[in-house]
Amino acid sequence: MYGWNGRILRVNLTTGETSVEEVDPRTARDFIGGRGWAIRYLYNEMDPRVDPLSPENKLVFSTGPLTATPVPTGNRYMVTTKSPLTGAISCSNSGGFFPTEMKRTGFDLFIFEGRAERPVYLWVNDDRVELRPADHLWGRTVFETEDMLRAETDPRARVACIGPAGERLAPIAAILNDKHRAAARSGVGAVMGSKNLKAVVVRGTRRIPLARPDELKALADQVVEEVKQAVAAGKATLRTYGTAYVPPVTNEVGILPTYNFRTGVFAGAEAISGRVLSEKYLIRPKACYGCPIACGRLTRVEDPVFGGEGEGPEYETIGALGSACGVDNLAAITKANYICNELGLDTISVGMTIACAMEMYELGLIPESDIGRPLRFGDAQAVVEMVRLAGLREGFGDLIAQGSYRLASHYGHPEFSMSAKKQEFPAYDPRGAKGMGLLYATSNIGASHMAGDTAYMEVFGVPKKVDPLSWEDKPRLVKYFEDIFTIVDAAGLCVFLSIRYLFEPTYNVEPVRISRLMEYATGAGYDEETLLEAGERVYNLERMFLVRAGFSRADDTLPPRMLHEPMPEGPAKGHVVELDRMLPEYYRLRGWDENGVPTKEKLAELGLL
């Protein structure tokens, strides 16, 4: 096989046995890799109705055919499992250096089953596979765990692990790799914790065989050259400011989540921008493996209260821990980000959950005695303290660690949770970007910007600008973005490079460059049409997992605030999300029935019957 290793490592944590399986070429091609292979195995092997934190749930780490190839940003891996936050499938993905190292061990996928009796970690050194005791690591932070594991395995090894939040089964716990990169969403860290699996350590030296290496290298080099030209021309905003450049942009269009999505306009947007981050805290930009963009931020905060050093914050983190909480103190947001990485928390879900708690506290729906302190919007110190408590599940942090839906429901008011399928919104108020509204509502993984981020076109003008306030054209746009994000995830690439450089500049044109790269890597017979169909196949199989888990149209919805409370101010003033008008058309375009279930005809067309 080319592009793929074609091998899966299966780890039974209950018995301690490991085994190696080959992947047949047709499955490889039809499901692409990464997220696609993961759902193919999970769907065939497990009952989607199982308790996510039981030994019956399975956990899959997967790379794609372009991971660890010369294709720029071929550095992603995905974590797929039944989510304890949503009860649906997860597709949490991360970059850094771990994914490339994992692929170079000679395995594309790790499948974890069962539950270890005592804490363990997996050590994969090329073909040598070992489950080792991890009692000495239990309770340790992410940073301590990585340092100790590299010391006792190989200083060149790469580590993905959980912190205290995952050990304590927080439904918003992340899996961190390379200390600061996170497969953050949907509580995948808690699934790892439930299996007593503290860490996965990899060291790989295998080169990935490619079907047409010269052609792949030539096209990859051309893309790198285009990025370099953009950098040289001073256009590379992500290099200059990281994703932190975004708050003033979303604020300008009136969709920067503020005060738990009461409004989309925040007076402190400039104070929490990339410009301030660069001036005050940036040490230098940091790239993942093989990335010419370098959007990562290595930062240091010198401050008596919020001091520290690490990576971040990203835009989503700033939106959640900053504007959504009414906080305009970038030092505090950065500190809260460091703590999330250290303890293993999803910055989006924890920030948005604190915002939810702040609104409910101010309305008198949560008594101060439960929290142990006042919790008003704008209180930076309270945000940092709540993040720490959530990561340790101590005091009021135990409720925050369960996410906003469970917290708000605990006090009898789930409507204050700004979530879809119980997963917190990312930092775009969908009332001012209607595609994002339809995406949050229908996404297989609950609200997420990584499921098919139509803000690319609605807000950022990539590959071209569309009106964010119109709804008529959005069902088609959402379907297309969901399918192409599926391809990018399954291939093992980063969306930042892919959407801009690997697709044609109108969304009704086929994904030309990425299909050529896929074909040069694998030689499996990909062209634009077969690749788009494979993306749609994977998306539909994920949907079938949800259907079998008991999800239906009733779950493809948004909080009442998004549907009935018009945006109070700014460019999106007066707007709500017209979900009822978009949903039927979206289902029709998908080939799903009026209950959101793929029809027999659609499944047959995709070879899924």
Partner 1 sequence: MKIHIKLLANYQKYLPPDCSSSSYEAEVPPDVRVEDVLAQLPVPLEESVVLVNGRTPQPGQALQEGDVLCLFPAIGGG
Q: Which residues bind partner 1 (CB under 8 A)?
A: 234-238, 240-241, 243, 245-246, 248-250, 252-254, 270, 274-275, 295, 314-316, 426-428, 449, 453, 455-456, 459-462, 465, 467, 469, 495-496, 499-500, 570-572
**Tokens read off for 473:** 């054209």
User: Is the Cβ of residue 270 or residue 368 nearer to partner 1 in the bound state?
Assistant: 270
- Smallest separation (angstroms) from partner 1 to the CB of 174: 18
Reduced to 3 states (helix: H, G, I; strand: E, B; else coil), residue 488 is helix
- Smallest separation (angstroms) from partner 1 to the CB of 445: 17
Look up residue 420 and give its amino acid.
A
User: Is the Cβ of residue 183 or residue 427 nearer to partner 1 in the bound state?
Assistant: 427
User: Is the Cβ of residue 265 or residue 399 nearer to partner 1 in the bound state?
Assistant: 265
- 557 touches 437 (CB < 8 A): no
User: Is the Cβ of residue 124 or residue 295 nearer to partner 1 in the bound state?
Assistant: 295
- Smallest separation (angstroms) from partner 1 to the CB of 181: 16
Count CA within 13 A, CB hemisphere, residue 64: 31
- Smallest separation (angstroms) from partner 1 to the CB of 516: 21
- Smallest separation (angstroms) from partner 1 to the CB of 245: 5
User: Is the Cβ of residue 36 or residue 570 nearer to partner 1 in the bound state?
Assistant: 570
Give the DSSP per-residue string, 231-242: HHTT--HHHHHG
**Tokens read off for 274:** 């990339």
At which residue do the structure tokens 């703590």 appear? Answer: 339
- Smallest separation (angstroms) from partner 1 to the CB of 209: 32
Could you tell me which residues are beta bridge partners of residue 263? 258
- Smallest separation (angstroms) from partner 1 to the CB of 485: 12
User: Is the Cβ of residue 459 or residue 518 nearer to partner 1 in the bound state?
Assistant: 459
- Smallest separation (angstroms) from partner 1 to the CB of 189: 22
- Smallest separation (angstroms) from partner 1 to the CB of 314: 8
Look up residue 452 and give its amino acid.
G
- 124 touches 9 (CB < 8 A): yes
Give the DSSP per-residue string, 359-410: HHHHTTSS-HHHHTS---TT-HHHHHHHHHHHHHT-TTHHHHTT-HHHHHHH
Distance of CA 455 to the CA centre of its chain: 16
Q: CA 339, CA 345: separation in Å to the nearest integer?
A: 8
User: Is the Cβ of residue 110 or residue 507 nearer to partner 1 in the bound state?
Assistant: 507
User: Is the Cβ of residue 84 or residue 296 nearer to partner 1 in the bound state?
Assistant: 296
The length of the chain is 609
- Smallest separation (angstroms) from partner 1 to the CB of 295: 7
Distances, alpha carbon 53 to alpha carbons 40, 58, 87, 193, 582, in Å: 21, 9, 10, 9, 35
Reduced to 3 states (helix: H, G, I; strand: E, B; else coil), residue 509 is coil
Q: CA 90, CA 79: separation in Å to the nearest integer?
A: 7
- 184 touches 52 (CB < 8 A): no
User: Is the Cβ of residue 8 or residue 427 nearer to partner 1 in the bound state?
Assistant: 427
Give the DSSP per-residue string, 294-315: --EEEEEE--TTT-EEEE---H
User: Is the Cβ of residue 137 or residue 230 nearer to partner 1 in the bound state?
Assistant: 230
Q: CA 601, CA 587: separation in Å to the nearest integer?
A: 14
